[in-house]
């Protein structure tokens, strides 16, 4: 690591104009100001509900949380949609309970911050059905397209914030490219652009033939534990987290789709940053083996919207939401979503 990289990695970094916020898209300024007004923190019981969306013959399971049930005639809350990654379904990704270890549910955290929080199991994951395909990035975009009518009908919102982690970030960014009119602010966590120089991507490239030959891959308890050791910094996680995920995921079996792994090994880049119109927050862990600073800054510099931020979380590996420093992730996400819209010229 060069001295410059070391200096960057030692701290949380905000890049951009001022606090990382530059000029937004003038044509959508009024809408953006309405969407990004900071919601009031909510108190009370967290309400949850399950929904279903149809992608052809495949039923996709959606999960929603907010403080208090929706009330007829009440003003809608800003919507945050969470997109899961390659190896775990959505509830273990964003609504995990780790007994005796504090809050690990990003859904609960953001619901208490005043958001209407949604997520979904992609094709072939968790509670959703399976089309039999490998659930690659393109399939994930179609899943999100299928989910949006349900979310819009239930919330009354036509645009929403999106958050994706790992390959979920690639899915979310690809969706933002495909349907920009639905995306307000976009958060890409543990993202990979081209994967150049990334140790984990290099490991997956050795498996390209295997991944191409199979629509599903092995994902047993040992593989889940390896998520927290492969970057060489297992101390950034509590060991109880992996065991909590295993308890949730094993009921769905010990295989999951290969598509996003194959895309990340053989088909990057999957997103053109110049075609992303929304404001973007990019977050990576200091020790994330799925990317490098150079890879992500290459993407960051090409983003078309000047309202953008790049943050490195210290003492954090690939999965910030599972890490000991997840409170830094929560702070960064909340600050970005609640920031006032820029004034155009």
For 94-133, what is each residue's pLDDT tens digit?
999 999 999 999 999 999 999 999 999 999 999 999 999 9
In a domain, 81, yes or no: yes
Q: How confident is the model at residue 36 (pLDDT cuts 50, 70, 90)?
A: low
Whole-angstrom CA distances from 255 to 88, 201, 248, 308, 312 are 10, 20, 14, 37, 32
Domain that holds residue 163: 3-338
In a domain, 101, yes or no: yes
In a domain, 344, yes or no: no
Q: How much is the average pLDDT of 202-221?
A: 98
pLDDT of residue 80: 98
| Average pLDDT taken over every residue of the chain | 91
In a domain, 65, yes or no: yes
Q: How many structural domains comprise the chain? A: 1
In a domain, 267, yes or no: yes
Q: Is-above-0.85 flag for pTM?
A: yes
Kindly state the percentage of the chain with pLDDT values over 90: 86
pLDDT of residue 40: 82
User: In this structure, are residues 254 and 224 in contact, taking their beta carbons and an 8 Å threshold?
Assistant: no
Q: How much is the average pLDDT of 268-276?
A: 98
In a domain, 345, yes or no: no
What is the domain-level CATH number for residue 309? 3.40.50.1820
Whole-angstrom CA distances from 83 to 34, 71, 281, 344 are 24, 26, 15, 30
In a domain, 343, yes or no: no
User: In this structure, are residues 187 and 333 in contact, taking their beta carbons and an 8 Å threshold?
Assistant: yes
CA trace torsion 117, 57, 270, 291 (10° rounding): 50
């Amino acid at each position: 690591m060069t001295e410059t990289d070391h200096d960057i990695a030692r701290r949380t970094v905000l890049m951009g104009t001022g606090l990382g916020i530059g000029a937004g898209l003038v044509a959508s300024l009024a809408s953006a100001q309405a969407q990004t007004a900071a919601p009031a923190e909510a108190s009370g019981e967290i309400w949850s509900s399950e929904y279903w969306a149809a992608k052809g013959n495949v039923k996709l399971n959606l999960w929603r949380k907010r403080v208090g049930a929706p009330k007829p005639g009440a003003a809608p809350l800003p919507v945050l949609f969470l997109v899961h990654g390659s190896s775990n379904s959505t509830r273990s990704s964003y609504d995990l309970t780790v007994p005796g270890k504090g809050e690990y549910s990003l859904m609960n955290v953001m619901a208490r911050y005043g958001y209407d929080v949604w997520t979904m199991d992609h094709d072939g994951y968790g509670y959703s059905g399976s089309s039999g395909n490998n659930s690659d990035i393109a399939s994930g975009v179609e899943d999100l397209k299928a989910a949006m009518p349900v979310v819009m009908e239930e919330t009354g919102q036509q645009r929403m914030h999106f958050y994706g982690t790992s390959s979920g970030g690639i899915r979310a960014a690809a969706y933002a490219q495909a349907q920009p009119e639905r995306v307000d602010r976009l958060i890409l966590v543990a993202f990979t652009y081209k994967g150049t120089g990334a140790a984990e991507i290099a490991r997956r490239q050795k498996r390209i033939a295997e991944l191409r030959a199979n629509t599903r891959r092995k994902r047993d308890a040992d593989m889940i534990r390896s998520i927290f050791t492969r970057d060489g910094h297992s101390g950034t996680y509590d060991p109880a987290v992996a065991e909590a995920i295993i308890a949730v995921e094993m009921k769905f079996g010990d295989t999951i789709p290969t598509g996003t792994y194959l895309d990340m090994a053989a088909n990057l880049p999957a997103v053109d940053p110049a075609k992303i119109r929304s404001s973007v927050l990019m977050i990576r862990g200091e020790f994330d083996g799925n990317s490098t600073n150079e890879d992500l800054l290459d993407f960051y510099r090409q983003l078309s919207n000047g309202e953008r931020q790049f943050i490195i979380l210290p003492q954090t590996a690939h999965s910030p939401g599972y890490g000991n420093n997840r409170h830094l992730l929560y702070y960064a996400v909340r600050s970005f979503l609640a920031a006032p819209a820029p004034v155009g010229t």
